[in-house]
Chains A and B, each alone.
Chain A
């Protein structure tokens, strides 16, 4: 069984006003799209995607609650606990890739975008955010291919959400694999677009988790678990889902809207 590793933070980088990257070394091998359970001592333990792989790993975290807010005040040298990696990885198949990311969802996909580029695939990334300053990993995506931008307020690029921008891109050229991560309703729209065009799609889902290893059932999605069967699901796996894009479980296990 993987055990928790307590690691010092080596470098902390503010990516956008609401998201920060924390870099650390840890003794495990990971693949693009996998996640860790990250212990913020005295506050919480949360599932987080790896945004940097390899020797100096990284997580990129949006400040959205007490624990992530506490983490935002951590300094280099402060320690966190990490266990994992857990879950499946993006399948790196295809030559012409469209990646559709919304907000901090880019953190889960960026390693896969880079891995696809490294193996010679053409990668087009549609990055969406509320505002221009909240756009995440545009430079890294640019270094791996072509980037198109959408902002909710129109402060940069396409004025609107990422899915309609993605649809324009799909109309313009043929892709043989689509990746998506972001707000679930956005992903639902992307999955529906991909399905309509019969293009394989991989969506990286997020759920509240207590354990990350298949005990607590908090990340239940129909009869699947995001920690075990995911976090990455294909359109076929999401077909007929009553939960995807609609419901999640809260801390008590009640089914609530996403």
Chain B
């Protein structure tokens, strides 16, 4: 039997699947449910210093290729969010707190507060492609990624995982900047900036016009990003983008990822997806002669 346990920067996971930020993670009740359904960890909604309503609807468009969204980072603010984290922790969930802010100071403040709630690591949302004026947009420069990461590392004693955007010239230079800033791991990739138009109405389908594309269409882009990042950095990588099966997850693992995140596939496959991915990974790893997940990490580079 293949051992599915894995560890990323000291965070122990019962299996390599995590809930990706932005899905069913605004409330503690839902995060508890996702963990109980089989996820190895849950990443929270990206939380900022103040409550935020997000964009007006329509905020999502279902496409054959995946999902386009511009939900706009709604969240109850870091102060109220404590209840949600505590509720998820009460169900024994492994929780990773995702944070955003408008500058390095805000990232640090929100992360410091999140760290006191009992999360196992901090994920930095440096890459939401549709939130104006926030650090998520500002982090289009390597310097900002380095500075934000460093500012957060200075104030928390937890592992810090910047989540990077694919909407840049070369994501690898951003991964290097994150490592220089002291990141303990990297999450790649966030959604791709995209648009859908409704021809019958002659207008963009999202109220925000632009959104982020997720789902099967972006998996090859994510796999490529993780592969390239792993060639250049020495910290672990969490792969995310279009994973809907154990085979998909193994692509990322063999590209060098230590763990994976799953979001869009939940819509079509339900919460059983985490267990399904874990089981399929185990059987594929066994067929390939691996005894554990770590043995398979990065083997495609050979």
- Contact residue among A45, A224, A252 (Cβ-Cβ distance under 8 Å from B76): A252
9 nearest CB pairs, A to B: A45-B57, A217-B26, A6-B200, A251-B53, A223-B29, A252-B51, A253-B26, A220-B27, A45-B58
- CB-based contact A215/B53 at 8 Å: no
Q: Does B300 contact A (CB under 8 A)?
A: no
- The residues of A with any CB-CB pair to B shorter than 8 Å are 1-4, 6, 37, 39, 41-46, 79, 81, 83, 210-211, 213-218, 220, 222-225, 249-255
Q: How far is the CA of A176 from the CA of B154 in the complex (A)?
A: 64
Rounded to whole Å, the gap between the CB of B241 and the closest CB of chain A is: 16
Q: How far is the CA of A45 from the CA of B70 in the complex (A)?
A: 13
- Contact residue among B74, B205, B268 (Cβ-Cβ distance under 8 Å from A210): B74
Q: How far is the CA of A2 from the CA of B58 in the complex (A)?
A: 15
- CB-based contact B30/A211 at 8 Å: no
Q: How far is the CA of A215 from the CA of B24 in the complex (A)?
A: 5
Q: Does B63 contact A (CB under 8 A)?
A: yes
Q: Does B64 contact A (CB under 8 A)?
A: yes
Residues of B within 8 A of A4 (CB): 61-62, 198, 205
List 14 additional A-B contacts (Cβ < 8 Å) besides A44-B56, A44-B57.
A1-B64, A3-B64, A4-B62, A6-B198, A45-B207, A79-B200, A211-B59, A214-B267, A215-B24, A216-B60, A217-B24, A249-B26, A254-B76, A255-B76
- CB-based contact A223/B33 at 8 Å: yes
- CB-based contact A214/B201 at 8 Å: no
- CB-based contact A215/B62 at 8 Å: no
Most buried by A among B56, B63, B64: B56
**Interface size of B by Cβ–Cβ distance < 8 Å?**
44
- The residues of B with any CB-CB pair to A shorter than 8 Å are 22-27, 29-30, 32-33, 45, 51-54, 56-64, 67, 69, 71, 74-77, 80, 83-84, 198, 200-201, 203, 205, 207, 263, 266-268
- CB-based contact B200/A2 at 8 Å: no
A81-B198, A216-B59, A253-B45 known; A223+B32 contact, CB < 8 A? yes
Rounded to whole Å, the gap between the CB of A250 and the closest CB of chain B is: 8
Residues of A within 8 A of B58 (CB): 37, 39, 45, 81
- CB-based contact A1/B26 at 8 Å: no
Residues of A within 8 A of B56 (CB): 43-44
